[in-house]
Amino acid sequence: MLDIKTLESWLWNAACSIRGAVDAPKFKDYILPLIFVKRISDVFEDELTCLSDEFGDEKIAHDLAQKDHKLVRFFIPRSSTWPEIRKKTKNIGQEITDAIRAIAKENPKLQGVIDIVDFNAKVSGQRIIDDGKLSQLIEVISRHRIGLNDTEPDILGRAYEYLLRKFAEGQGQSAGEFYTPKEVGWVMAYCLDPKQGQEVYDPACGSGGLLVKCQLALKEKEKKISKPLHLYGQEQNHVTYAMAKMNMFIHDMEGDVAIGDTLTSPKFLDGSALKKFDLVIANPMWNQDGYDTQFYEGDTFNRFECGYPPAGSADWGWVQHMFMSLSNNGRAAVVLDTGAVARGSGNQGSNREKDIRKKFVDNDWIESVLLLPGNLFYNTSSPGIVLFLNKNKPKEKKNKIMLINASLEFEKGRPKNFIPDDKIKKIAKAFHGWKDIEKFVKIVTKDEAIASDYNLSPSRYVGNGQDEEYRDVNEVLIELSELEQDRAKMDKELNLILKKIGYKGFLR
């Protein structure tokens, strides 16, 4: 059986085989589909062997699988099996593209997943990746079998996630659009503690890592799983959507993933209302702009009744969508910019985010806020927080909020810091322990949160001797944007009043 270190080294060698042919961020577009095709081809070969043993003949087994695709995970046409792909010596780019499209044609659930890359594509008349590089890549991938008896799905899946992380390291600022650091995902999954058969939703699922980790966390806890989790995700980027589907399949999991902007067009509905889920887990884009008051006012799902976020940050728009997607006993974990739990507190006058936060605190919907270490994420050095929501807190947690300062629970890494396994378990244990821990955990009452003007920043309540209070530039810019919107609104209202009384010198 192949171990994870062997798989990681092998997959990275595959990536290096086309280094120089395409930019690092594009590696994943070519390598991930081919690794996936190698896996399903090897598995198909193993399944045919089992059917041949049962029916006594390989041809009969193949014909039966061709007639009834339900006999196998994925049916692979003979011309598209990996041994046939490896034989290609001419027009390799086009041959691979045709072979993968033939697989997608036979397996509708793979359409739009493995067939979105043209291995023969050109830019300015030049092939993006030539046949020589493709041939090298295929040979490297051919070094190991990854069928049913060669490696565990979880091991292969974690190696696949390793490759996603390596791609994220090379992609810089845009990496956050598809990848959440694995240790952050583990912290969230362990804290949510999913139960068998629950429905789990990620409205900004990226490459699907948070959903996958929920199922893996359940598998770690339960010796026998009779009812796996039902996984649901939405992603607006079609390439990232494909990565999410492949990530689930390679882990031997299945999930319902939809394409589209969740805020403007949520895809998981129950009639005309939002579908409800047991758990929601997500890391949406922080401080996302592009959603103004007119958008929130026009929402038909009644998601934003707690208030309209400023145009400069949709953080609390995402939070309200997730809260409205929870069942009566539902819980959520969402990664946000640290400013989301503090902006507006301590300032005179109104602040849209604080007003929304106030309603969540007053209604006792916030269970915990976890401050993460800095420099974990690939698109920012900011620490971030995890906001935990609970629609129906148990009695001992009523009107209380747990604040966890985990800012020192990390090790230095290159290029990013990381939370080691023992620290992940320490954080999860503290979350479930629900008690004060000096310089780490503080449970505050609702009244204490109100007295602090609804500032829920853990470092405000839990000092560890190294925290510094500072205001992030993005936080200041968001507040300035909100003030500008309020000014424009007041100007408009004042102009209407002046017009009614016949004054011509309107404000601009």
CA distance 283 to 186: 13
Residue 335 backbone dihedrals phi, psi, to 5 degrees: -85, 130
The domain that contains 297 carries what CATH number? 3.40.50.150
Q: Is there a domain that residue 210 lies in? A: no
The tens-digit pLDDT sequence of the chain (508 residues) is: 889 999 999 988 888 887 665 555 566 788 889 999 999 999 999 999 999 999 888 999 999 999 999 999 999 999 999 999 999 999 999 999 999 999 999 999 999 999 999 999 888 888 888 899 899 999 999 999 999 999 999 899 989 888 888 888 776 555 566 789 999 999 999 999 999 999 999 999 999 999 999 999 999 999 889 999 999 999 999 989 999 999 999 999 989 999 999 999 999 999 999 999 999 999 999 999 999 999 999 999 999 999 999 998 999 999 999 999 999 999 999 999 999 999 999 887 789 999 999 999 999 999 999 999 999 998 888 899 999 999 999 999 999 999 999 999 999 988 889 999 999 999 999 999 999 999 999 999 999 999 999 999 999 999 876 645 444 556 556 656 666 666 666 677 777 776 777 766 555 5
Q: What is the pLDDT of residue 178?
A: 76
444 and 368 in one domain?
A: yes
Domain boundary among 421, 446, 461: 461
Q: Is there a domain that residue 115 lies in? A: yes
Q: Does residue 301 contact residue 266 with C-beta atoms inside 8 Å? A: yes
3-state secondary structure string, 289-338? CCCCHHHHHCCCCCCCCCCCCCCCCCHHHHHHHHHHCEEEEEEEEEEECH
119 and 71 in one domain?
A: yes
188 and 102 in one domain?
A: no
405 and 290 in one domain?
A: yes
Q: Is there a domain that residue 490 lies in? A: no
Spatial CB neighbours of 154, under 8 Å, sequence gap ≥ 6: 216, 219, 251, 252
**Residues found in the chain:** 508
- Give the chain's domain count: 2
Q: Does residue 175 contact residue 169 with C-beta atoms inside 8 Å? A: yes
Q: Does residue 274 contact residue 300 with C-beta atoms inside 8 Å? A: no
Q: Is there a domain that residue 493 lies in? A: no
Q: What is the pLDDT of residue 462?
A: 94
Domain boundary among 151, 183, 212: 151
368 and 309 in one domain?
A: yes
Tell me which residue of 476, 465, 337 sits closest to 405, measured CA to CA. Answer: 465
Q: What DSSP string describes 151-173?
A: S-HHHHHHHHHHHHHHHHHHHGG
179 and 130 in one domain?
A: no
Q: Is there a domain that residue 165 lies in? A: no
178 and 93 in one domain?
A: no
Given the structure tokens 């949160």, which residue do they identify? 449
Domain boundary among 118, 151, 184: 151
CA distance 152 to 139: 23
337 and 392 in one domain?
A: yes
- Work out the number of other CB atoms within 10 angstroms of the CB of residue 87: 10
* DSSP β-ladder status, 385-390 and 199-202: unpaired
394 and 260 in one domain?
A: yes
Q: Is there a domain that residue 220 lies in? A: no
Q: What is the span of the domain harbouring residue 408?
A: 171-192+237-461
Q: Is there a domain that residue 230 lies in? A: no
The domain that contains 137 carries what CATH number? 1.20.1260.30
336 and 284 in one domain?
A: yes
Tell me which amino acid residue 210 is. Answer: L
186 and 309 in one domain?
A: yes
180 and 99 in one domain?
A: no
* Radius of gyration, alpha carbons of the chain: 25
Percent helix, strand, coil in the chain, to 5, is 45, 15, 40
DSSP-derived secondary structure letter, 403: E
List the alpha helices (DSSP H) in 17-91: 27-55, 58-67, 82-86
Q: Is there a domain that residue 88 lies in? A: yes
The angle formed by the CA atoms of residues 413, 214 and 358, to the nearest 5 degrees, is 85
